[in-house]
Each structure stands twice: as C-alpha cells, then as structure tokens.
Amino acid sequence: MAQLSGVCTMFETMKHSPVLGLKIFDFEGSVIPAIERYFRGFGGGLTSYFTVTKAWLPVEIALKFRWRQYF
C-alpha cells in the first residue's frame, strides 16, 4: 500500500506542476539501479551532479567502500 501511495503522490505532483508554471520536473534520481530505471521510464534525461565532502578519515574510507558497491 505504501508503494501505491508514493506513486499516486508523484503522479498528482506531475499533474499539478504545469499549474504552477513549472516546465521541468526533477525526480532527483537515485543510485539504486531499479529506481533509476523507473524514473528514466518517464522519458527524462540523465544529469550528473557532483558533490565534494570531507569527513573524518575512517568515515571517509567506509563511505568509499559503501559507494563502490552500487557500481
């Protein structure tokens, strides 16, 4: 049921965006392949966003290993 309400909310938001004068709807994407494919199914284009972060060295190393599992 939670998945259906999320889909319905997204659909209603997309329907309402032209009323607000919006020409672009940003899904914000995902690093999870199945979610990214779902969002791309709406016909959108892929846009890369880069971030720079600095963390305590052990945390930074752990995050790098965690990030690599998605690719």
pLDDT in tens, 49-58: 777 777 788 8
- What is the pLDDT at residue 67? 62
Instruction: Name the DSSP class of 60.
Output: H
Q: Kindly tell me if the per-residue pLDDT of 26 is higher than 70.
A: yes
Count: domains in the chain: 1
What range does the domain containing 7 cover?
Answer: 2-68
Q: Please, which pLDDT band fits residue 21 given cuts at 50, 70 and 90?
A: very high
pTM to 2 decimal places: 0.46
The per-residue DSSP string of 6-50 comes to HHHHHHHHHHHTTTTT---------SSHHHHHHHHTTTPPP----
Cα–Cα separations (whole angstroms), residue 24 to 3, 17, 19, 40, 48: 24, 8, 12, 14, 16
Reported as a single tens digit per residue, the pLDDT across 5-17 is 778 888 888 889 8
